[in-house]
Amino acid sequence: MNRLLQQWPLVGASGSWLEAHLMARGTLSMGEQHVLGTCISAEEVLSLVSSQSQRCLLLMVDSIAADHCDNPVGRLRRLPNSAVNVLLVRPRSLI
């Protein structure tokens, strides 16, 4: 995982304030200093990613969008310079 994170600046995205905070704290505690930010809405994700001039890695939990991120991912693909790699996490429900 560290090798994956080291290749690009990282953007974290979750529909939960707590998850977003833990993403930022977790990557910083691993010594990863190139975290661009964590977002809690699709609009924040689009704003942060579109402001970047270099390719970045977006680690997105599907809780950020009711449609399981289909809309945010589609909007990211339509950006003029869609320089983003998306890693989508869909947590399983415990029964």
Q: Which residue's entry shows tokens 């560290």?
A: 2
Contact of 50 with 56, CB cutoff 8 Å:
no
* pLDDT surpasses 50 at 95: no
Structural domain contains residue 19: yes
> Which CATH number is 36's domain given?
3.40.50.2300
pTM (two decimals): 0.71
Question: pLDDT tens digit string along 63-93?
Answer: 776 655 557 777 777 777 666 666 666 665 4
Domain residue limits at 15? 2-89
Q: Give me the number of domains the chain comprises.
A: 1
Parallel, antiparallel, or unpaired: how do β-strands 84-89 and 35-39 relate? Answer: unpaired
Question: pLDDT tens digit string along 2-56?
Answer: 676 677 888 888 888 888 888 888 777 767 667 888 888 888 888 888 888 888 8
